Structure 1
């Protein structure tokens, strides 16, 4: 190994260990937990698989902790790669000292590495580089030597050289000062201090480019707020206003303290060059440091705001996906419209499409009697129990029509529900929908999707790009790649939390199962179509291209309701089937007792720690096995509250302050929650109205899908806005 390589290259094992130790401190986890998790991830295990089936190895880390390790590990590995690249580039210039190498190796943020590299980065032509080409570095060195006597002008006159472009002593002096200014601006210590000071004491100031223009940004036409107190949603709103050329945004900071700090780094005492060096400090800050630090601070604000917005979207999405399914009901889905009519889709209790129709009960056609006849015919023919209406155009007129129809239905309980149709049009025009219903038009597919998203929200919503589901804030203003990664992880987590029916799951649903990609998902469905229903999980190993690793990762999340082995309808992994057999022998029961009261009673009488030792299995795994044996085929969503069904219409004109209502949380954002109370627009419960105590964030109180009791605070009929409270009136 050459000397140059020995300076730059570091043993990968040492780098890996340093990363693991750093994460241990940052995430406040044990060294064993972090090291084991990194090993499992590097071996190709998915997070849902590790969280569910490797609890003993990780010390029962949950999915959020595992994802934190995965994300931090990726960041730190990228950081190490950048360190090695920077070390190599500086070494190639012959300027890599032991001290600098140590600083780079010990850096814990990418920004620190970039600050250290900044003086050595190849720059485009600058005032300082031109001055160096003109031979003015010796004059800069003389100024920095800070002599106590002598003439600055006389010293500068020695460097006048018209052939090199230095036409006067003043020009020579300016060039030397430019060299010093760039050097001061590139100092890593100075930049770190100024960045920190700007973050702590800076103020974001916004003003209108045209204060007479009306816009949604009017509150920011003359606005200012300290950097460290600017909340994420305001950061993103200001950014959007600036991007749309409505706002001018700047960052102001008290400069005196900055000048004093920089002067202390540069000036040692009284000298004939002191006044020139003080001028250098002001120039270095104003021309070179302030613009770039402002960009960096605003970029950091934006990154934090985007990360926060993504977290809000992800949490809302998870709660939406995990809403309780409505099982065993034949449903009539309605995609409302005016001119083109309401598309109807009847789906059976498994989601299979039974009939498609179109009616015209809304303006301008107003064929109410004809539409009513069709609705009543379908209700009677298919014994429909629920009508689901999309909340798009003409939804409220359609709702009134449906409520009138329900009053005419005798001898059965019939209710309706309005659901968010966000993303239904995206799905309807997608290749997934075309493959599923090639002979239907987009509106007919949309009606089917609206009906199905009540029956099984998860199975239907996974077919839609998560960004189109509409439960976020400023989701179009964040880095789309990061948003997609985060939302994909949420969908993956939700799908694996619930598990999928191997014999009914769509390719879209299967593609989110641990270890399964889109190709394998299609292969599973094709195998099912060619060979009939799966009767055993082991058959998965016969699916083309589904190898041993993919089988290990996915099989525990697959369910077979009526297979040859009843354990295949539980979350128990086949690798634990022998443990289950041993447990049943210990209990003196047959596998047929699965889910029985006798089994439940015997399991509850056991001491898991003692039995785990006897069976040679970890206690967390045994607890999961015992829980699964008591409730085979259990859907964790069934324990959640059902949505609120209606039989009659509530209009905004019916609302009066103090009225008590039941509602469903549709969206949770930083400043409150939007509640569906059955009127055209969702009502807003401001964060200050969520509880009688201080609420740090609305998500601490409510989640998407929650059923809540609210009281009307105020109604703005002109704007169609309803303000609500969750504080019970005195």
Structure 2
């Protein structure tokens, strides 16, 4: 596919101008990253956002792979000397890989089938006679092919062999396969029945023990649930479909009105559909359903991860972090305002030890010694018992002290990793986990990038989707968030730096190594001296790296050095000295700038100037600080404390297809069903709530036996 044709296809699909697509492809091909293009090449792309640019990137990759496959298929068919001009044109004009594979199917090298065996017996001419003859007699014609030496002992065997050839020819026909696939997607019903009892005894899949739903109506999470239960041997799954309309369609296409073999061909078509087409199409349809469900699950996981990474940091607070446990004790770690570990300890405030007095004495001493302001409690095993202990301790301490339950998903993965071992070689795994819990409260982004995103636990059925697609999507989200927030190059870890546009793992390590050897960076230009950080990498990364309190105040902003000259001219026009940036006087002048007129005067693009002015209005701004701060607590809540209609505040922990899970301070998060999110129609919960959001909820249902609470966000009507 030529570039011009590719541009036209993508522009049509994404509903954007061909010029935007063409220029974006050129930037991608020259090695520019998606975050860089989205932020610093807005004039070239016409203000395309990251998602649009990534869509172009993915479609270019797909179409180029499609083009390679087309060339391969044309070559393979040509080698068989069966390539016609018409077939070649059909292959070249295909826009989807499935179309190419359907066209190639009749020519694909197959294992020995009933049809290939029949062809070896010389029965192919009889098969074509069966399809095309208008005169003669099929049985008399078949008698000509009796040859015991070839394995054809009777007329019946000859007709059966020819029938097998026709059945495979019908099944391999691209038009037939496409039509039946589309019809099945529209009309089939997926049904399930229980095959085996669930080993856990929890009956997680109970609603699917006898279940049916039209294929086109199935919600993505139900598709993945059925797939998992089928894999676990709990359900038997099949597609149900009335074959009559399909057989009628096949008859119209394959049986001539004056055919002498119409009766035999009807039987052949029925055999072809039931034996060859239906099983293959059922696999394909199930695959398409799974692909669609995976895309949705990955989308939800990605959106949840984005919101989790963007949670507001609790800066400038000394934190006492607790990783609860029963038998092995509660590991504690005191973290200073910068995330530096000050001291660790182990206490036993929960069963079976119940050394409550000793635990209070040790932790109270740490709180006083370091001026602890917040206690962070991991939400794993023994979390609620530890929470009750902390509440009782806070009541006895004469100082302003709050606590918060921190989602520790992935902390254990990090603490056992090579990275954690390098950071804290003298700590055991649980102590490292406590440090991670405290740090993810202070700066969620900086800490969570150290953990495989799949282990963070903010999705649904993440283990049931394509792991490579999931990893690619989550990697994109992490890169997007890191570059959106920006990175302080003098405090960032290699784990964080490696997600900055253009920076590899090795370059990230080199940046930190030079910082540790020569001291803090004082200007962005010093990064040019980092080994393996060449001119292209510098161009891609430098706008996302910040030098706080450096030689040039612009180095603490998202303004790219390539625009520094334009900034100097802007400051001169406004009569502002560089050291005045950030003052109230300068902010007033920046707000009065006429972007259109100034852009023309400075010979700079309007989008670029708009970003420059926004950056100068609030230099050093962390965009996360405008979001909800974590919900701090002073007292504990038990399910027995709840009553229907009670109003509570909670934090959204996870968003899934059917609703949102909200932490209201209980052992298990409460569920706000999609129907309880708003009085208006809600297409998807992500349209209403996001991970980390603080929401007001009311108790709707309480099931103390199962420990479940149903919540609603619909305020009670007066």
1:332–1:388 CA contact under 8 A, matched in 2: yes
- 1:209 paired to 2:164: no
- 1:418 paired to 2:405: yes
- 1:195 paired to 2:181: yes
* Selected match of 1:255 from 243, 248, 260: 243
State the match for 1:3 in structure 2: none
* 1-structure distance, mates of 2:76, 2:137: 40
Tell me how far 1:270 sits from its aligned partner.
3.3
* 2-structure distance, mates of 1:666, 1:144: 63
* RMSD value, Cα: 1.0
Tell me how far 1:499 sits from its aligned partner.
0.4
* 2-structure distance, mates of 1:200, 1:595: 60
SS at match of 2:52: helix
Structure 1's consecutive aligned runs of 4 or more residues displaced over 4 angstroms after TM superposition are: 211-214
- 1:115 paired to 2:102: yes
1:344–1:356 CA contact under 8 A, matched in 2: yes
* Selected match of 1:171 from 138, 145, 157: 157
State the match for 1:648 in structure 2: 635
State the match for 2:138 in structure 1: 152
State the match for 1:697 in structure 2: 684
SS at match of 1:563: coil
SS at match of 2:2: helix
* 2-structure distance, mates of 1:37, 1:301: 32
- Structure 1: give runs of 5+ residues left out of the alignment: 1-13
1:332–1:384 CA contact under 8 A, matched in 2: yes
- 1:280 paired to 2:242: no
Tell me how far 1:623 sits from its aligned partner.
0.4
1:118–1:186 CA contact under 8 A, matched in 2: yes
State the match for 1:557 in structure 2: 544
1:501–1:560 CA contact under 8 A, matched in 2: yes
- 1:407 paired to 2:389: no
Deviations 1:206-249 (A, max 9, x none): 11113698531121111110110011000000000110011111
State the match for 1:370 in structure 2: 358
- 1:442 paired to 2:405: no
2:114–2:165 CA contact under 8 A, matched in 1: yes
SS at match of 1:729: coil
State the match for 1:317 in structure 2: 305
2:132–2:259 CA contact under 8 A, matched in 1: no
State the match for 2:592 in structure 1: 605
- 1:326 paired to 2:314: yes
* 2-structure distance, mates of 1:652, 1:349: 35
SS at match of 1:122: coil
SS at match of 1:544: coil
* Selected match of 2:535 from 535, 544, 548: 548
2:347–2:359 CA contact under 8 A, matched in 1: yes
* 2-structure distance, mates of 1:333, 1:418: 10
Deviations 1:320-345 (A, max 9, x none): 00000001100000001111111110
Tell me how far 1:92 sits from its aligned partner.
0.9
SS at match of 2:507: helix
Tell me how far 1:268 sits from its aligned partner.
1.6
- 1:124 paired to 2:129: no
* 1-structure distance, mates of 2:640, 2:230: 38
SS at match of 1:66: helix
State the match for 2:560 in structure 1: 573
State the match for 2:509 in structure 1: 522
- 1:15 paired to 2:21: no
1:346–1:355 CA contact under 8 A, matched in 2: yes
1:83-122 aligned at under 5 Å gives the runs 83-122=70-109
* Selected match of 2:622 from 635, 645, 649: 635
* 1-structure distance, mates of 2:252, 2:184: 18
SS at match of 1:438: coil
* 1-structure distance, mates of 2:82, 2:16: 39
Distance change >3 Å, CA 129–CA 672, structure 1 → 2: same
- 1:592 paired to 2:617: no
* Selected match of 1:299 from 276, 280, 287: 287
Tell me how far 1:554 sits from its aligned partner.
0.5
* 1-structure distance, mates of 2:365, 2:196: 59
1:135-150 aligned at under 5 Å gives the runs 135-148=122-135, 150=136
TM-score, with length taken from structure 1:
0.97
Tell me how far 1:17 sits from its aligned partner.
2.1
Tell me how far 1:603 sits from its aligned partner.
1.4
TM-score, with length taken from structure 2:
0.99
* 1-structure distance, mates of 2:505, 2:169: 53
* 2-structure distance, mates of 1:675, 1:210: 33
Deviations 1:597-623 (A, max 9, x none): 111111111210110011011000000
2:198–2:234 CA contact under 8 A, matched in 1: no
1:146–1:274 CA contact under 8 A, matched in 2: no
State the match for 1:10 in structure 2: none
- 1:181 paired to 2:175: no
* Selected match of 2:473 from 460, 469, 486: 486
Deviations 1:285-337 (A, max 9, x none): 11111111110010000011011100000000000000000011000000011
Tell me how far 1:15 sits from its aligned partner.
2.1
* Selected match of 1:358 from 338, 346, 354: 346
Tell me how far 1:272 sits from its aligned partner.
2.4
- 1:724 paired to 2:711: yes
SS at match of 1:138: helix
